[in-house]
């Protein structure tokens, strides 16, 4: 029983640390940093052009990772690399939590993937 309590406690501590790590951004600051993003992804993160992903409601950790990958070249897209290059780590976290905080309208992939 003592072993189970120790494992449970360790799991709780890890879970709290992980959520704090992913919650490093600030939604209000993020909203002020998305002026270039909205040209393609929409003011509300709901792109109407299927060639641009909808960002609203995506996981903040996924969005942040994607921006870091564009910035360091692991993802290749000349436009996104240019935009990401000027972002600090804090900017990336702020933008990611901002778009993550927006409600998504995406309930399926119809008309959002080329060929469908």
The string of DSSP codes covering 40-82 is HH-TTS--SSTTS---TT--HHHHHHHHHHHHHTSS--HHHHH
Confidence class of residue 3 from pLDDT cuts 50, 70 and 90? low
C-alpha dist (Å) from residue 25 to 15, 100, 107: 18, 11, 26
Note the CATH number of domain 25-116.
1.10.760.10
Contact yes or no for 113/54 (Cβ under 8 A): no
Residue 103 to residue 74: CA distance in whole angstroms: 28
Q: Is the full-model pTM beyond 0.75?
A: no
Residue showing tokens 């939604």: 27
pLDDT in tens, 60-93: 999 999 999 999 999 999 999 999 999 999 999 9
């Amino acid at each position: 029983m003592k072993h189970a309590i120790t494992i449970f406690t360790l799991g709780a501590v890890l879970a709290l640390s992980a959520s704090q790590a992913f919650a490093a951004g600030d939604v209000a600051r993020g909203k002020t940093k998305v002026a270039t993003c909205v040209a393609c992804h929409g003011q509300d993160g709901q792109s109407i052009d299927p060639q641009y992903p909808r960002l609203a409601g995506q996981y903040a950790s996924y969005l942040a990772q994607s921006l870091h990958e564009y910035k360091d070249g692991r993802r290749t897209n000349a436009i996104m690399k240019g935009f990401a290059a000027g972002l600090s780590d804090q900017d990336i976290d702020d933008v990611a939590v901002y778009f993550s905080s927006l409600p998504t309208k995406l309930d399926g992939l119809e008309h959002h993937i080329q060929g469908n």
